[in-house]
Chains A and B, each alone.
Chain A
């Protein structure tokens, strides 16, 4: 009867499966639908977690075009998927195949589930057998009835683990023998033991048991020392699992080691991806930067961007203590040294960075600018900046390097002082400044904090993060404020105040532009980005932080 029902259920499932399969295989109504359906099963090689259908990347668009073309050519979905698999491997399929090695991905979870359930059932069965040691056994009656009854059915006194008296030891031995006997019965029932082995082993245990029972009878029982001991005595031993001491200790040690290993592994390795191509472990286990150095590097960069140079120096020193060749840390130290006016030290720092990473753009830029503006080594500066130029693709940054290169005299080393940075291209001049007026919106006028500081901030229009190009601070401003931003307000000494910038202003309540305090007010130039040299760059403060 049960079999018939199972057959019916199977037939129903097959029928449903057939319907589903049939609906899958049905031709899509039009070309775009078919293209989308196939693309949805392919992984985008750029985004990787998106399908080719969903990814906005250029590569995905091109892959969709190829899919569309192949659909038009009359290829089946499987043929098209096979084509991409032949180029990128099985990886390209968002849904692994149910054949070959990939089938394991589908089957393995079910196998593990079934094995888990079987293991649980087996354990439960075994524990039940252990507890119920008086179960009728199919084993032959090998022991004298009295001994067997004494050994197996006799009530055992509960014994304190710390009790070291002779009686307690005998009781523990008694309990152990009961356990062994139960296991022996179980093994025999499971046909793991031959009858002759079973007989021999059981007789051996029985002999020991008789000895223990006799010795127990000769040892007087002592009254329980504590209430807890008395309470324990009331509980039948079979109601509680009987773990041996080594099992408890081994389990504890294992859990401790496993927990520590997992905790250490995860905290040391998992982190935010630092780039599009990065992994959640970065270079942990595979790379060079030690984890402590990585954390200190991030801390240093953050401090540097906030211009907290003492903190940044401390952090970069930590990085270099852990990873003496870290090019980024050397480079940032170089920039801090420029800021402090130590050109020689900066040059050494950049050289150290470049000895590890010869094409590190930040270090090349720093070295080039030191050679140009501090050392007046024009030939050297030109060489370094030309190397940098070869690495930068077309764009604003490249144009900046070209502009600086154009200002370097071609006559080499000891050139005229007029080419010095203070008076050269990067020097302040009437054209290398931005000026205008800052006003405040009428609705915010009543909320101005009399002790607030006004920050006028210029950031390169190319973006890219990092510190602003130039900042001017005006304490307790009276609006409207006339301002001029020029080379002297540049944050990084040696950086030319040129090109397009984004201008923003901030009226900061606590005078710290990094913190965001309720009541801070901001505004930006409405026609950002603006070219350095522009006049009448007027800004209205019209936003308030809540």
Chain B
């Protein structure tokens, strides 16, 4: 009888303590995206070189979609890595697309010039694309397979090696089990 009571007490208090401990460990700002393995929302991006880029036209290619801003320090940390990764894969059936959010044209263009970014970049003036992709911390990167499905999401600065390997997975249509995380800045 006493052991039964002790067990019942532990069964009630144990989960409550576990819940408390779990709450302490969570980053309360982190928002888990529901977009993994879902179709990527189509968009048309006004590029800084004056052209327009439509996601629909990239069907058949693995796409690396990167949201950034010139004022965001982690974006600056990853900028050179991204250009290096782009130089490695630009001859393949993969493409990089950069989307500047909450930025001025002048600062964004200076950023692109400073880091010698050569892949297509455009601005999301109304944050519609950012909201369509559930963006909340930048940089945020999405990997889209040739069928237009999101296979991986990474919040925060990302390394070139991870970009290349996740893009290779996207090309094969492999969906990652969970998101990745690095240093990030909250959007303004």
Contact B131 A66 (CB under 8 A): yes
A284 at the interface (CB under 8 A from B): yes
- Asked if A394 meets B70 with Cβ closer than 8 Å, knowing A86-B34, A89-B31, A89-B33, the reply is yes
Determine the chain A residues whose CB is within 8 A of the CB of B102 once the complex forms: 58-59
Q: Determine the chain A residues whose CB is within 8 A of the CB of B132 once the complex forms.
A: 87
Cα distance A88–B153 when bound, in Å?
13
* Distance A284 CA – B20 CA, assembled complex (angstroms): 14
Q: Is there a chain B Cβ closer than 8 Å to A14's Cβ?
A: no
Interface residues of A (CB under 8 A from B): 45-46, 48, 57-59, 62-63, 65-66, 84-89, 91-92, 246-247, 250, 254, 258, 261, 265, 269-270, 276-277, 279-281, 284-286, 359, 390-394
Which segment, of B21-29, B59-67, B89-97, B165-173, faces chain A? B21-29
| A65 and B127 alpha carbons, distance in the complex (Å) | 10
Q: Is the CB of A394 within 8 A of B187?
A: no
B20 CB contacts on chain A under 8 angstroms: 265
Distance (whole angstroms) from the CB of B148 to the closest CB of chain A: 16
B24 pairs with A285, CB closer than 8 A: yes
| Interface residue? B114 (CB, 8 A) | yes
Select one of B24, B31, B71 contacting A45, CB under 8 A: B31
The complex places the Cα of A393 from the Cα of B111 at a distance, in Å, of 9
28 CB-based A-B contacts, threshold 8 Å: A45-B31, A45-B136, A46-B136, A46-B188, A48-B29, A59-B188, A62-B131, A63-B127, A66-B128, A66-B131, A88-B31, A88-B136, A89-B32, A89-B33, A91-B31, A250-B6, A258-B13, A265-B21, A265-B24, A270-B24, A277-B29, A277-B184, A279-B29, A280-B24, A284-B24, A285-B21, A285-B24, A390-B114
Interface of A is mostly: helix
B107 is an interface residue with CB less than 8 A from chain A: yes
Closest to A258 in B: B13
Smallest CB gap from A358: residue in B: B77
In the complex, residue of chain B having the shortest beta-carbon distance to the beta carbon of A391: B76
Among B13, B21, B133, B187, the most chain A Cβ lie within 10 Å of the Cβ of B187
What CA separation (Å) do A440 and B79 show in the bound complex? 53
Q: Is the CB of A393 within 8 A of B70?
A: yes
**Complex partner residue of A276 from B6, B31, B186, CB under 8 angstroms:** B186
A392 to B115, CA, bound (A): 13
* Interchain nearest-CB distance for B21 vs A (Å): 7
Contact present for A285 and B25 (CB under 8 Å): yes
Distance A286 CA – B21 CA, assembled complex (angstroms): 11
Interchain CA distance A104-B29 in the complex, whole Å: 23
In Å, the complex CA distance between A221 and B118 comes to: 102
Q: Does B57 sit within 8 A of A, measured CB to CB?
A: no
* 8 further contact pairs, Cβ within 8 A, besides A89-B33, A89-B34: A45-B31, A84-B131, A87-B35, A89-B32, A91-B32, A246-B2, A390-B115, A393-B76
The CA of A295 and the CA of B103, in the complex, are separated in Å by 37
Interface size of B by CB at 8 A reads 45
Is B110 an interface residue, CB under 8 A from the partner?
A: yes
- Tell me whether B32 and A58 are in contact (CB under 8 A): no
CB–CB B21/A62 < 8 A: no
B 4-50 contacts with A by CB, 8 A: 6, 9, 13, 17, 20-21, 24-29, 31-35
- Residues of A near B128 (CB, < 8 A) are 62, 66
B187 near A45 with CB under 8 A, answer yes
Q: How far is the CA of A46 from the CA of B187 in the complex (A)?
A: 6
Given the interface contacts A59-B102, A247-B2, does A46 sit within 8 Å of B76 by beta carbon?
no
Q: Is the CB of B28 within 8 A of A88?
A: no
Alpha-carbon separation in the docked complex, A45 to B2 (Å): 50
CB < 8 Å: which of A87, A246, A390 contacts B80? A390
Shortest B158–chain A CB gap in Å is 14
Cα A393 to Cα B71 with chains together (Å): 5
Q: How far is the CA of A276 from the CA of B29 in the complex (A)?
A: 9
Specify which chain B residues have a CB less than 8 angstroms from the CB of A250 in the assembled complex.
2, 6
Q: Nearest-CB distance from B180 to chain A (Å)?
A: 16
Known A66-B131, A87-B131: A58·B71 in contact at CB below 8 Å: no
Contact of B186 among A46, A270, A279, A359 (CB under 8 A): A46
| Interchain CA distance A58-B133 in the complex, whole Å | 17
* Docked pose: A254 CA to B5 CA in angstroms: 13
Q: Interface 1/0s, chain B 103-114, versus A by CB < 8 A?
A: 000010010001
A490 to B164 CA separation, bound complex (whole angstroms): 48
Cβ–Cβ contact B131 & A279, under 8 A: no
| A391 in contact with B77 given A45-B187, A46-B187 (CB within 8 Å) | yes
Q: How far is the CB of B59 from chain A (nearest CB, A)?
A: 21
A66 to B2, CA, bound (A): 61
CA distance A286 to B76 in the complex (A): 26
On whether the beta carbons of A394 and B73 are closer than 8 Å, the reply is no
Is A65's CB under 8 angstroms from B126's CB?
Answer: yes
Q: Are B187 and A58 in contact (CB under 8 A)?
A: yes
4 cross-chain pairs, A with B, having the tightest CB-CB distances, nearest first? A62-B127, A45-B136, A87-B134, A393-B71
* Docked complex: B154-188 residues within 8 A CB-CB of A: 184, 186-188
Taking CB atoms, residues of chain A closer than 8 Å to B33 are 88-89
Residue of B with least CB distance to A90: B34
Nearest-neighbour CB distance to chain A for B179, whole angstroms, equals 12
B72 sits at the interface (CB 8 A): yes
Q: Select A57's contact among B27, B110, B134, B188, beta carbons within 8 Å.
A: B188
**Cα distance A84–B34 when bound, in Å?**
11
Measured in the bound complex, the distance between the Cα atoms of B184 and A66 in whole Å is 25
Instruction: Output the least CB separation between A399 and chain B (Å).
Output: 13
**Interface contact A281-B126, CB-CB below 8 Å:** no
Give chain B residues whose Cβ lies under 8 Å from the Cβ of A359.
77
Q: How far is the CA of A59 from the CA of B130 in the complex (A)?
A: 10
* Most-contacted residue by chain B among A62, A84, A269 (CB, 10 A): A62
Across the interface, which residues of B come within 8 angstroms of A284, CB to CB? 24
Using Cβ atoms and an 8 Å threshold, which residues of chain B touch A269? 24
Instruction: Output the nearest chain B residue to A286 by Cβ-Cβ distance.
Output: B25
| Chain A positions within 8 Å of B115 at CB level | 390
